[in-house]
Amino acid sequence: MDTEKGPLGRSAAAEYASWFKALADPTRVQIVSLLARQGRPMNVGEIVEAVDVGQSTVSAHLKVLAEVRFVLADSRGTARYYRINDACVGCFPSAADVVMGRPAPQAPACREPMGETS
């Protein structure tokens, strides 16, 4: 079977689905947008204040975003600071191209299955 015409491999499809699922919530999109636009690590309190959602909710959303590596957490004393993972977020637009069967440039910092077809 021609892999260029067949579906994505199961592991690639699962990886991309997790990315799309992570961004399927408006608050998570706000958090990613906030961190990207601020360009600096932010603690949970700062994020809560900016997105006007409770701390436990923001923490749960940050956990989801960290699981797909869109955000990274650094500990400073007792506080955790969250920042955008530029390497991973940079791969996201290419994911839509790959899913749709369009050629997408490889981003060297992305972990496989970027571009996997079998």
- Whether 34 has a pLDDT exceeding 80, the answer reads yes
Q: What is the DSSP letter of 74?
A: E
**Domains contained in the chain, CATH given:** 10-99 (1.10.10.10)
User: What average pLDDT does range 93-115 have in this prediction?
Assistant: 56
Q: Residue 83 burial (CB < 10 Å; 0-12/13-18/19+)?
A: middle
Whether the per-residue pLDDT at 51 is higher than 80: the answer is: yes
Greater confidence, 4 or 72?
72
pTM for this entry: 0.74
Do 44 and 55 contact (CB within 8 A), yes or no? Answer: yes
Residues 63 and 44: beta-carbon distance below 8 Å? no
